[in-house]
Amino acid sequence: MLSPTSAFESQVRLLSRIVLEAFGQPATNHNDLGRIKTNEYCQRQCNGCSEICNLIRWGEVQRRQDNLFEGCSSPRMIHHSFLELDYCARVSGCDTCRTFRRAFLLEQITGRDVESLANPDLQSPVYAVLSIESSGDRLLLTSTPTQKPSFSATVALNHEPRHLADDPTKGGARLITDFQELRRVVQDCHHNHECSSRYRWSRRNPTWLLEIKDSNHVRLVRGPDNLVDYVVLSYSWGDPAEMPATEWARIKGAGTKTKDGVPVPERLNLFPAWHLPETMQDAIRITKNLGFSYLWIDNVCIPKGTNWDTEASLMHEVYGNAAFTLVASSSSKATDRMIKDRLAWSHRSKAVKLRGKWLHNTQVPLDKIRLESPVARRSWTLQEERLSPRVLYWAEQRWYWSCPESQVAELEELGHITPQNTSLMRRSPQTFLELCRTGDIEQLHEEWLDIVEAYTPRDLVEPRDRFLAIAGLAVRFYSAKAEAGGSFISEEYLAGLWRDNFARHLAWSVAKGADSRQNLQHIAPSWSWASLPLRMETNTKHTFKSSEHFKFISAVEEKIDSAKAMTSPNGAQHDSLSRGRAMEERGRGVKAVDVEGRFRRFVSENAKQVSWDAIEWRRGKRVGFNFGAFPGQDLFARQDSDGRIISKDAHSGEIVGQLDYVVPDEAPKSPFTPYVPCGGEKEIMCLELGESAMLLLIKNPTWGQQESYRRVGVAIGHENRKGFFYGCETRTVRLA
């Protein structure tokens, strides 16, 4: 899913490393980099940009010597700071610097990023590196200050000029969004695509909607009986720890109060939009400018006192039925403006040519906008995006549109999604909905694992909402399987995992052992990823083949009112929606499961503990293990810093496991310890999940009359020990 962004990030890291290694070395002999002259193409060019000509000349030499050459040049400084480059572009009129300035600005997703780019305290020299690749040459630009953040951008070099017919500055500088172009894109999807007929869930509106009378006045109304075209806002509330208490109170205060179960008259009557935080105000303006009269905002349209659990399980309807979801990618918090002057377009564009090469700005990948904006750090917004057939991403300098049939960036079509262009579909935010529609059960399970991996690094204001924030996705997942298999399906939702592929779902791992003091095992059982602390990187995607010895037996769940759970708000029972909601609600209450599988100790009783450094082997970038100093010995070792643990019998291969938690610096006051204490490694048991996957378990002190175990880690990919469970007993084990 991250391939376009990952490729970009790897080049940024390479560029930053090259520049940092070059710091302290003179990159240019020019003292006055901003001095302007006219080049052979009658274009204004500063002394700093003459260094670009030297880079291109270097590339020509490499190509003459080897026409298959690929690599990067050494860095050359083109300006002493971004502010100097900005001045050169705006005031001196250097055509090349204008292209570079726009490249830096287009890379910034939020308003805060743009402000940081021009922050005098974060200035440092701007360097350029020429990257020669088979796919085309590019200039990699970076401004690497001594403190974060660092800024990077990319400019492509072509043999032909870029077509500029749709340039936004054709008639002069344009700082304000042209809604006419965006309206065309939205209407084209509405009239010419099959998104509505394929993905719209039902004809029900949300219970409450904001009705927009004009750009300055709104009121809260009940959703009409017949489905209307409404827009949904997906945004980040912000981190209360990073703002004044009064600002956070204003954001929370935007919620609709109720009296006797009904919204207060102040919301039911027309009220000024400026009573709401700035992101919401601008969402109202955008919605109105695009020709829509209704907007749904969670904090406003779910009145206080509403059954939050019920509303959370209906999110697949709220987002699935919307005309589109507006994602406030440019806002770091709800009080940030979305509609602002867009500085990247503040001057006329011009085709720039240096030493026979045309320079033009590259398109920032949609994945970068999706995955690096502040919205992507909020847990609730994951399902908001993946349950939405159409999404409008509003970044600081331009908008992006994504639907199941096309992806469009402002002024540039990214491509239509067709059977011949399936790579776009794999990158599409709508992949989950497409798999639900087609009923590809195997791929649907893989998509759920991808959802988990995208969900666990995100943050929540209230940790108790860990399951509620993906309840809509769980209901949609179950409904897809119910519609494919009818009323009689075996699928169960089990604390964020699914029964039909339970062994595969159990085999998640952490990237690094967590701080056990932040665990959420009071919310979810130890075997569920939901028991991990918030903001944890996890890995769910690896080659997996289930063991024929593993079997799911039953779940232990908290009792709920099943009659209530099986009834939808309008009284209908037993349809796929009400069954899905009941399944999701039951799944949240599952605390333990009984499974069957091959079972044994992870570390032999006779094993000797050795230090990690005594067995780790490094040769440059290669890392492995060397047990030559301990011939004929059973041993184990533990890496305290990241939670890795290794077990090796005397004459067999080693197994490397990953513990979920590291040992904290201070012992907890509670006797409950989700981590393996030092000296407790020989108590670890393991349960076979697949041919190269096992759970690492510790026995619980008590669980009524039933012996039970809690998860402490996992071992994946033990190719050196394929026969580890050979001849072991098969046992029924309760996981709690």
What does the pLDDT look like over 202-261, one tens digit per residue?
Answer: 889 999 999 999 878 999 999 999 999 999 999 999 999 899 999 999 999 999 999 988
- 210 neighbors 275 (Cβ within 8 angstroms): no
- 646 neighbors 718 (Cβ within 8 angstroms): no
Domain ranges of the chain: 3-158, 176-340+368-426, 593-735
- 206 burial (CB, 10 Å; 0-12 / 13-18 / 19+) is buried
- 17 burial (CB, 10 Å; 0-12 / 13-18 / 19+) is exposed
- 135 burial (CB, 10 Å; 0-12 / 13-18 / 19+) is exposed
What does the pLDDT look like over 394-432, one tens digit per residue?
Answer: 999 999 999 988 888 887 754 444 333 334 334 578 899
Please list the alpha-helical segments (H only) found in 239-277. 245-252, 265-268
pLDDT at 147: 58
- 627 neighbors 648 (Cβ within 8 angstroms): yes
* Tokens coding 341: 């002057």
Phi and psi angles of residue 692, each rounded to the nearest 5 degrees, phi first: -140, 40
Please list the alpha-helical segments (H only) found in 488-539. 502-506
For residue 176, the tally of other CB atoms under 10 A from its CB is: 10
Q: Which of 348-357, 387-396, 614-623 has the highest mean pLDDT?
A: 387-396
Distances (CA, A) of 205 to 114, 226, 314, 603: 38, 7, 11, 57
Q: Which of 205, 204, 209, 211 is nearest to 301 (CA)?
A: 209
Q: What is the mean pLDDT of residues 128-146?
A: 88
The C-alpha atoms of residue 76 and residue 348 are separated, in whole angstroms, by: 27
What does the pLDDT look like over 652-711, one tens digit per residue?
Answer: 889 999 999 999 988 776 667 899 999 999 999 999 999 999 999 999 876 556 789 999
pTM of the complete model: 0.86
Distances (CA, A) of 23 to 11, 73, 145, 631: 18, 15, 11, 48
* Tokens coding 382: 């994951």
The C-alpha atoms of residue 676 and residue 685 are separated, in whole angstroms, by: 12
The C-alpha atoms of residue 579 and residue 177 are separated, in whole angstroms, by: 44
The overall average pLDDT reported for the chain is 86
- 562 neighbors 582 (Cβ within 8 angstroms): yes
The C-alpha atoms of residue 179 and residue 186 are separated, in whole angstroms, by: 10
What does the pLDDT look like over 490-539, one tens digit per residue?
Answer: 899 999 999 999 999 999 999 999 999 999 999 999 999 999 999 999 99
